[in-house]
Chains A and B, each alone.
Chain A
Amino acid sequence: MKRYSTLGLLKAGLSGHRDWPRAWRDPEPRSRYDIVVIGGGGHGLATAYYLARQHGIGSVAVLERGWIGGGNTGRNTTIVRSNYRQPQLQRLLEYSLKLWEGMTQELNYNVMFSQRGAVFLGHSDSDMTRLAERGDALRAHGIDAELMTRAEVARLIPVLDMSPDARFPVQGGLIQRRGGTARHDAVAWGYARAADALGVDIIQNCEVTGFSIRGGRVEGVETTRGTIGADRVGICVAGHSGQVAGLAGLKLPIESHLLQAFVSEPIKPMIDTVIMSQSIHCYISQSDKGEIVLGGDPDLYPTYSQRGVPMRLEEVASQAIALVPALSRLRMLRSWAGTTDMSFDGSPIIGDTPIEGLYLNGGWCYGGFKATPGSGRLFAHHLAGGEAHEIAAPFALDRFARGATIDETGAGPKAQDR
């Protein structure tokens, strides 16, 4: 791997940038690997990277149906935070957040992790109590959280509607200062490049069409580019977990829904932090390029179409304007939709499947991006040693049958209630 550095960039500039090598190779699949990771999104690539880096397993292939980072890794609103309420999720996301903090250096690739702060706004006394509860729960687990007064919120985000008779008047907020945003594509590319440098084969345009299973044990995968043997296979295809697991005869507590998001045209800096709300399901940030990034509720019915309903975007626009009135004159430039694995408690599924040697990492609902490094590293741990890492252990698939679900919102098993 040719290391990136400022000096290197200057030199390359003088020579017309002709010598930059491929960020990752384009290898032909070998007939077998120790471990095959299905899915070349952030989670799959991170898994492969940590398998090689942490566990010294170089015989790893990542199989990607299309192009890496083309699924939900490239279809989210890039928010990174760990300020969840349930302790299991706090541990998982905080573990991840710590890895985010070292990612650019570790990967030698600028993922533009911007700790600009993630603020939940409170609009009533009961909102503020809930935010305090969340903040207290975080602080009691050593995770940063600060309550903000109305005045502090107004100072931090001057464009907010602070009028007391607003439909959702701002009473205060809860900020996680270490939260923020990252450049989503760079995460996939950075992990791909670093994994490739450690010998991982990243194989694009290679769709898994079946599993070789004998005696309840996985022996490899069938793909559009031939059969590939493997001792262990990890599924990292959130959005399509049900489909891929279905190839192995598994049925999962997952339904595929759709989440839309959009960006405005780019403008000079307007919003310097991530804005979320305790009462309205709308989140607002501004990309480094200047686009206002907006997201909201999912579409609430099963679909793999990646085409949403227009009213959802209209709702998000209206909620965003309610919080930041000056957004009204900005224009939606680009919208997109991702297929989300909606698990039946809203939390991810990481770990064993009933088939020996086959492991699952999915069910991320609409919150998977922020977990990318942690998810990859924990899943690598499981794939390498066959045992769950203690942070990942609560997220085992059998928790549904056991009754040990992890329900952040308390919304229950119906995806559309979440």
Chain B
Amino acid sequence: MLRIACPYCGRRAQAEFVFERALDAILPLDETPVAAVEHLFARDNPKGWSWELWRHTAGCGAWLKLHRHTVTHQIAAVETLGASAQDAGE
């Protein structure tokens, strides 16, 4: 089980977090249908280092960018994304 260093809460067990998607799988709202479909259904699915979006759902609710290795599970970086925990609205 991973231990993820939430910038707001400190190191917490993976059980508190949910994986949302690979960063490059975030589909912007303004993409054209053709680009969106391409974007939605074509994945790198990397075996190795990957940038991912996780959410500290059972913690502060923050969205976090993880730089994580999909084989060794090492986590090289955890960064915040957009709004911080303080205005998470929950």
Contact = CB atoms under 8 A, between A and B. Distances in A.
Interface of A: 240, 242-243, 246, 251-256, 300-305, 307, 309-311, 344, 400-401, 413-414, 416
Interface of B: 1-2, 14-15, 18-19, 21-22, 37-38, 40-45, 47, 50, 52, 70-73
A344 B41 contact: yes
Q: Which of A246, A255, A307, A416 has the most CB of B within 10 A?
A: A255
A344 B39 CA distance: 12
B45 A243 contact: yes
B41 A253 contact: yes
A254 B71 contact: no
Contact of A401 (B2, B41, B71): B41
A311 B15 CA distance: 8
Given A256-B70, A414-B21, A416-B18, A304 B43 contact: no
Given A310-B1, A414-B21, A416-B18, A305 B73 contact: yes
Contacts of B14: 309
A38 to B, nearest CB: 16
Contacts of A254: 43, 45
Contact of B50 (A253, A302, A401): A302
Contact of B45 (A242, A305, A413): A242
B1 A302 contact: no
B57 to A, nearest CB: 12
Given A246-B45, A251-B42, A302-B50, 20 more contacts: A240-B47, A242-B43, A242-B45, A243-B47, A251-B45, A252-B42, A252-B45, A254-B43, A254-B45, A255-B22, A255-B45, A300-B18, A300-B19, A304-B47, A305-B70, A305-B73, A309-B1, A310-B1, A401-B38, A413-B40
Contacts of B71: 303-305
Given A300-B18, A302-B52, A309-B1, A252 B73 contact: no
Contacts of B52: 301-302
20 contacts: A242-B44, A242-B45, A242-B47, A243-B45, A246-B45, A251-B44, A253-B41, A253-B43, A254-B45, A255-B45, A256-B45, A302-B45, A302-B70, A303-B73, A304-B71, A305-B70, A305-B73, A311-B1, A311-B15, A344-B40
Contact of A301 (B19, B38, B40): B19
A416 to B, nearest CB: 6
A344 to B, nearest CB: 6
Nearest to A301: B19
A246 B45 CA distance: 9
A125 B43 CA distance: 40
Q: Which of A246, A255, A302, A344 has the most CB of B within 10 A?
A: A302
A17 B73 CA distance: 47
Nearest first, the 6 A-B pairs at minimum CB distance are: A242-B45, A251-B42, A301-B19, A253-B41, A400-B41, A309-B1
Nearest to B19: A301
Contact of B72 (A300, A305, A344, A416): A305
A252 B70 CA distance: 17
Q: Which of A252, A303, A305 has the most CB of B within 10 A?
A: A303
A304 B22 CA distance: 15
A254 B43 CA distance: 7
A244 to B, nearest CB: 11
Given A255-B43, A304-B47, A305-B71, A416 B19 contact: yes
